[in-house]
Amino acid sequence: MTDHEFPYAAARRVVQTALDEDLGPDNLDVTTFATIPPEQVTVGHVVARADGVVAGLPAIALVIEAVAARIGALAPRVEVHVSDGTPVERGVQVATIAGSTQATLIAERTILNIICRVSGIATHTSLWARELAGTQALVLDTRKTTPGLRALEKYAVRCGGGTNKRMGLYDVAMIKDNHKLAAGGLTGAYAAIRAAYPAVPIQVEVTTTPEALEAVAAGARFLLCDNMSAELLRETVAAVRALESEVGERVEIEATGGLTLGVAARYAATGVDYLSVGGLTHSSPILDLALDLDV
On the question of pLDDT at 234 being above 70, the answer is yes
On the question of pLDDT at 3 being above 60, the answer is no
Phi, psi torsion values for 123, nearest 5 degrees: -65, -45
On the question of pLDDT at 243 being above 60, the answer is yes
User: What is the rounded distance in angstroms from the CA atom of residue 225 to the CA atom of residue 52?
Assistant: 31
Least-confidence region, from 1-15, 17-31, 94-108, 269-283: 1-15
Q: Where are the alpha helices (DSSP H) in 72-100?
A: none
State the pTM of this model: 0.95
Residue 92 binned pLDDT confidence (cut-offs 50, 70, 90): very high
Catalytic residue numbers read: 109, 144, 176, 205, 226
Closest to 5 measured CA to CA, from 223, 154, 213: 154
Taking a C-beta distance cutoff of 8 angstroms, is the pair 251, 237 a contact?
no
Edge-to-edge, what's the strand order for the sheet holding 93-100?
Answer: 77-80, 93-100, 41-48, 289-293
* Residue type, position 85, single letter: G
What does CATH list as the number for 3-121+285-293?
3.90.1170.20
DSSP-assigned beta bridge partners for residue 224: 205, 254
Taking a C-beta distance cutoff of 8 angstroms, is the pair 109, 32 a contact?
no
DSSP letter, residue 163: B
Residue 91 three-state SS: coil
Residue 4 binned pLDDT confidence (cut-offs 50, 70, 90): low
On the question of pLDDT at 2 being above 60, the answer is no
DSSP-assigned beta bridge partners for residue 290: 47
Where do the structural domains in the chain lie, given as residue ranges? 3-121+285-293, 131-282
Please give the sequence-ordered ranges of beta strands (E in DSSP) within 14-107, or none if there are none: 41-48, 52-53, 77-80, 87-88, 93-100
Handedness of CA 53, 55, 58, 63 (dihedral sign): negative
Write the pLDDT tens digit of every residue in 123-144: 999 999 999 999 999 999 999 9
Regarding the domain delimited by 131-282, which CATH topology (the fold level of the hierarchy) does it fall under?
TIM Barrel (3.20.20)
